[in-house]
């Protein structure tokens, strides 16, 4: 990891630890105030706890032109991105994609090309719907490795992160607390519950929280659609195509709509936000990834709407190519942040549990 980014974030964290004006704003400050000194792992953990809500920046009395020149959201954002790149496997790909939207577009083009080639070279041995263009077995052969290999890469990355931040064996209570906090997006409501200051300076808003909910639950519904369809195919010998009122279609359409709207809204919010309160170098990569995710959802909806038409083979290749690109890029783009944030919340739940045990221990008599 880049030591200059760690050192600057440590300097700012030490000032915040002395001031404590922002105590209770979000998960970052209770964790920050629990320490007397900050190791590299502590700074990495704080960076991944931060949701870049920016409330602390607008409340801070030590921002520029003060000589302390604090910009904690920016400092933590830079460490956060650097930590994802440092822990990623293989690392060179991460450093390329996090900061280059053009590389994301290139991966998308490659994904399209592979799918067009597969359709022309492999084709289908017969089937209904999409399987009349590309057989089910061919789809499985292409997408199973594309899905499993990124998960393997993420497992290596998260193991490196867990070691860096001093993670302990995980208990069920740690996971429960972390998933509850992530599901509610509590840190995007900040400690006061009025929302964050992401898109409109010091005006509180829940817009970013709601947009994150749309993206997260839209993605989970799309994943549920694929999972249910897989169970129906292999477990009940019920093959696609499925009707609109089937679970795969209901989950997929609702998830696609939420994901498309959420990604469009997120791009608008990021356009309105102050780039200097985040990692400026990663802005293009972030926008590229959000657009790719939204395109996956939108192309799926268009494919469903025009699946009966003569252009269906082209739409299928475009959609599956974008999905292939998304899978391939998962460990190396902003998609990874969900996994790291959850890991950071699990580690924070451990810290709270350990602190609670210490407080409950009887004090030895003098």
Q: In this structure, are residues 56 and 30 in contact, taking their beta carbons and an 8 Å threshold? A: no
Each of the 366 residues of the chain gets a pLDDT tens digit; together they read: 789 999 999 999 999 999 999 887 888 998 999 888 999 999 999 999 999 988 889 889 999 999 999 999 999 999 999 999 999 988 877 777 777 777 777 777 777 777 777 777 776 766 777 888 888 888 888 889 989 999 999 999 999 999 999 999 999 999 999 999 999 888 887 656 678 888 877 788 889 999 999 999 999 999 999 999 999 989 998 888 888 899 999 999 999 999 999 999 999 999 999 999 999 988 888 998 899 999 999 999 999 999 888 898 888 888 888 888 888 888 988 889 999 999 999 999 999 998 887 777 776 554
pTM for this prediction: 0.89
- Give the tokens for residue 334: 């902003």
DSSP conformational letter for 168:
-
For residue 226 the two structure tokens come to: 């694929």
In this structure, are residues 121 and 97 in contact, taking their beta carbons and an 8 Å threshold? no
E strands, the chain, are: none
Give the DSSP H or E segment for 301. helix 283-305
**Beta carbons within 10 angstroms of residue 74's beta carbon:** 22
């Amino acid at each position: 990891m880049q030591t200059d980014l760690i050192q600057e974030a440590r300097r700012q964290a030490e000032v915040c630890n002395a001031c404590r004006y922002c105590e209770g704003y979000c998960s970052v400050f209770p964790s920050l105030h629990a320490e007397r000194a900050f190791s590299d792992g502590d700074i990495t953990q704080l960076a991944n706890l931060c949701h870049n809500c920016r409330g602390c920046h607008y409340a801070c009395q030590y921002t520029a032109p003060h000589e302390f020149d604090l910009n904690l959201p920016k400092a933590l954002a830079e460490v956060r991105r650097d930590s994802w790149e440092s822990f990623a496997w293989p690392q060179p790909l991460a450093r390329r994609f996090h900061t280059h939207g053009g590389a994301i577009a290139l991966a998308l083009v490659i994904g399209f090309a592979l799918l067009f080639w597969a359709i022309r070279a492999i084709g289908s041995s017969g089937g209904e719907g999409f399987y009349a263009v590309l057989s089910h077995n061919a789809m499985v052969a292409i997408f199973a490795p594309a899905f499993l290999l990124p998960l393997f890469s993420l497992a290596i990355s998260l193991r490196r992160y867990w070691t860096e931040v001093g993670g302990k064996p995980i208990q069920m209570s740690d996971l429960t607390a972390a998933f509850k906090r992530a599901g509610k997006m509590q840190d995007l409501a900040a400690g006061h519950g009025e929302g964050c200051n992401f898109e409109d300076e010091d005006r509180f808003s829940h817009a970013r929280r709601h947009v994150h909910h749309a993206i997260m639950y839209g993605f989970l519904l799309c994943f549920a659609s694929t999972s249910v369809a897989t169970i129906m195919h292999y477990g009940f010998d019920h093959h696609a195509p499925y009707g609109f009122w089937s679970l795969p279609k209901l989950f997929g359409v609702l998830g696609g709509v939420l994901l498309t709207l959420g990604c469009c809204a997120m791009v608008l919010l990021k356009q309105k936000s102050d780039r200097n309160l985040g990692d400026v170098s990663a802005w293009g990569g972030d926008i590229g990834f959000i657009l790719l995710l939204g395109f996956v959802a939108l192309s799926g909806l268009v494919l469903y709407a025009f699946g009966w038409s003569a252009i269906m083979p082209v739409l299928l290749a475009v959609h599956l190519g974008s999905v292939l690109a998304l899978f391939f890029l998962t460990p190396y783009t902003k998609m990874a942040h969900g996994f790291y944030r959850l890991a950071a919340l699990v580690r924070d739940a451990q810290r709270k549990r350990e602190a609670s045990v210490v407080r409950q221990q009887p004090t030895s008599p003098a």
